[in-house]
Amino acid sequence: MSARLAVLGSPIAHSRSPLLHAAAAEVLGLDWDYQRIEATEQSLPGVVAGLGPEWVGLSLTMPLKRAVLPLIADHAPLVDRLGLANTVRLGERPHLANTDVGGIEVVLAAHAGARSGVVLGGGATAASALEALGRLGVRERIVAARRPDVAALQLAGHAERFVSLATVDLTHAEVVVSTLPGHAETVVRLPAAVPGTPLLDVAYDPWPTALGTRWLAAGGRLLHGLDMLIEQAVLQVRIFTDADPDVAMVQEDEIRAAMREAVHR
């Protein structure tokens, strides 16, 4: 019988995760059946309770990254720090992990030590982005959200300042991460020029987003959201195969290349 895995969320039809994990399974010679499952905060407990012994793991997207916490007792320290999980390792001792932080950290590694970083958006992915920027030594971390008062409550302790998307000043930002949905209309006002400043836009469908297109027109560098998705998926494969989550697998370069090919990246 194939080992079963899935990505859960709502909406979920657009997810590329099945392509990524199928590519990894082929490299590793594993018999994995990886699916998409539509699940909401209300239906998640029933879905998790109904999983049989053939289930190896789950990837979680919105709106489930907080909702899953009370369903699984064993958490990686980062999950408790952020109050977020995007990975469930099933089996005899189910376990929650967060690979979003590591995925963002890898993509932005070249910008370690930047003086100022701005995160656009105030949701779950914003918390992971702030943690990644902190790990990279970015000294000032600013959140720009539609409702900065709400973002300040949800992300207390993770950022130095909270401002409105409509008033954020990106002129002096050395690195920017957008966690806004790709289809969202945004009121972000861009400077006339952002020469060479990197923007990691975690949205990847459609690509580029309207914000990404404007960023490029202003002279900025646009980092692809699929790169972050691939890197966090590589970390998930470590967890799903019971490898050390902090140590690269022997075939990791081959896995990463297969994943990139699978999503035409």
- Domain at 151, CATH number: 3.40.50.720
DSSP-assigned beta bridge partners for residue 164: 145
Q: List CB contacts of 176: < 8 A, sequence separation 6 or more.
A: 117, 118, 119, 120, 170, 197, 198, 199, 200, 220
Q: What is the pLDDT of residue 90?
A: 97
Closest Cα to residue 63, out of 96, 36, 89, 40?
A: 40
Could you tell me if 183 and 243 lie in one domain? no
Could you tell me if 151 and 257 lie in one domain? no
Could you tell me if 89 and 158 lie in one domain? no
Could you tell me if 180 and 242 lie in one domain? no
- What single DSSP character describes residue 132? H
Q: List CB contacts of 35: < 8 A, sequence separation 6 or more.
A: 4, 5, 6, 7, 18
Could you tell me if 182 and 244 lie in one domain? no
Could you tell me if 106 and 219 lie in one domain? yes
Q: What is the pLDDT of residue 202?
A: 96
65 an active-site residue?
yes
Integer Cα distance of 144 and 131 in angstroms = 15
Candidate list 4, 36, 65, 111, residue with the active-site label: 65
Q: What is the pLDDT of residue 206?
A: 87
Could you tell me if 36 and 133 lie in one domain? no
Tens of pLDDT along the chain (265 residues) come to: 799 999 999 999 999 999 999 999 999 999 999 999 999 999 999 999 999 999 999 999 999 999 999 999 999 999 999 999 999 999 999 999 999 999 999 999 999 999 999 999 999 999 999 999 999 999 999 999 999 999 999 999 999 999 999 999 999 999 999 999 877 767 899 999 999 999 999 998 889 999 999 999 999 999 999 999 999 999 999 999 999 999 999 999 999 999 999 999 9
Integer Cα distance of 108 and 58 in angstroms = 26
Number of domains in the chain: 2
Print the domain residue range for 149. 102-223
Could you tell me if 86 and 147 lie in one domain? no
Q: What CATH number has the domain bearing residue 66?
A: 3.40.50.10860
Could you tell me if 88 and 112 lie in one domain? no
Could you tell me if 184 and 248 lie in one domain? no
Structure tokens at 102: 């590591």
Could you tell me if 80 and 182 lie in one domain? no
Give the pTM.
0.96
| Residues 72/223, Cβ–Cβ less than 8 Å | no
Could you tell me if 154 and 237 lie in one domain? no
